[in-house]
Amino acid sequence: MANYLRRCLWLLLLAPLAQAAETAPLPPVRIGLTPVFLDDQATFVNAWRTYLESHLKRPVTFVQRGSYRETVDMLREGKLDFAWVCGYPYVRNQNYFRLLAVPLYKGEPLYQSYIIVPASDKQTRSLNDLRGKVFAFSDPDSNSGHLYPEYLLARINETAASYFSKTFYTWSHRKVVEAVAAGLAQGGAVDGYVWDTLVFSHPELTGKTRIIAESPQFGHPPFVANRSVSPKLFKDMQKALLNMVHDPDGSPLLAILNLDGFVYGDPHLFDGIAEMFQFIENQRNASSQRR
């Protein structure tokens, strides 16, 4: 009887602690945004946060950084749960990331890199005409804004340093367009999805540029997850993204992003990026051995 009373007493003492644990607020879901994301969209980010919080049933924090490297490092260090990154850093960090979802653009999980020049330049027809000119890249870890043009140059045994008179990074796809439009660069490499979207939102900007080359299609910049994210949170976040197209609150957000939705995606979507990266690495190694 004494043991029974002691057990009852312990249960009474522990009950408030258990109840407090059940009602304790969950930590926020931390989502990284990079230059893949369109600039100057604070209102949209707040609306998207509200949408995701309602579906995940917990707070959401968006963490915006100015370069892919910063976001990738935070993801690898466990300071982020998810991030919208580029296919290039995804290819190089697959041991650390899980593919969560891929955007659908024009009905496919694909996009292109554009090489652009000022609209006033009527002579330039291809990258071959930009030798000795000033060229703008978006980010050293961008596929469309750096890797693809570097690959084109590697194919003719050139590098950006040997081919252009000067290069610089703008750290944003939109800013590549701005630099070319303003004549600060005579050519630039930009995410085609971003350029196409700016046609609708800022036609006065894209109207000052002209596309002279389009890449093959690559896997669209994906959403990835830190591998330490719990299976439940992974599935909840994936479901929230995939169901946006069917949700009356989610579809208007997709319209602002100029996307058709999100799909599960396949790692093989990024094989073309991996092949370009490997080709450039092989070229560099061969060049080092010849020295």
| Rg of the chain in Å (alpha carbons) | 23
On the question of pLDDT at 86 being above 60, the answer is: yes
On the question of pLDDT at 129 being above 50, the answer is: yes
Domain boundaries, the chain: 26-109+219-272, 113-215
Do the domains 26-109+219-272 and 113-215 sit in the same CATH topology, yes or no? yes
**159: helix, strand or coil:** coil
In the numeric block, the tokens 């949170």 are attached to 233
pLDDT of residue 74: 95
- Give the residue from 254, 291, 241, 195 showing the smallest Cα distance to 99: 241
Rounded to an integer, the average pLDDT of 113-122 is 97
Whether pTM > 0.85 for this model: the answer is yes
Is-contact 67 175, C-beta < 8 A?
Answer: no
Sorted by sequence, the CB contacts under 8 Å of residue 224 that are 6+ apart come out as: 75, 82, 83, 85, 90, 97, 98, 99, 100
DSSP of 10-43: HHHHHHHHHHHHHHSPPPPEEEEE-TTSPSS-HH
On the question of pLDDT at 35 being above 80, the answer is: no
**Chain segment 164-193, per-residue pLDDT in tens:** 999 999 999 999 999 999 999 999 999 999
On the question of pLDDT at 222 being above 50, the answer is: yes
At the fourth CATH level, the homologous superfamily of domain 113-215 is Periplasmic binding protein-like II (3.40.190.10)
Fold of 26-109+219-272: D-Maltodextrin-Binding Protein; domain 2 (3.40.190)
The one-letter code for the residue type at 259 is L
Q: Pairing between strand 218-219 and 110-111?
A: antiparallel
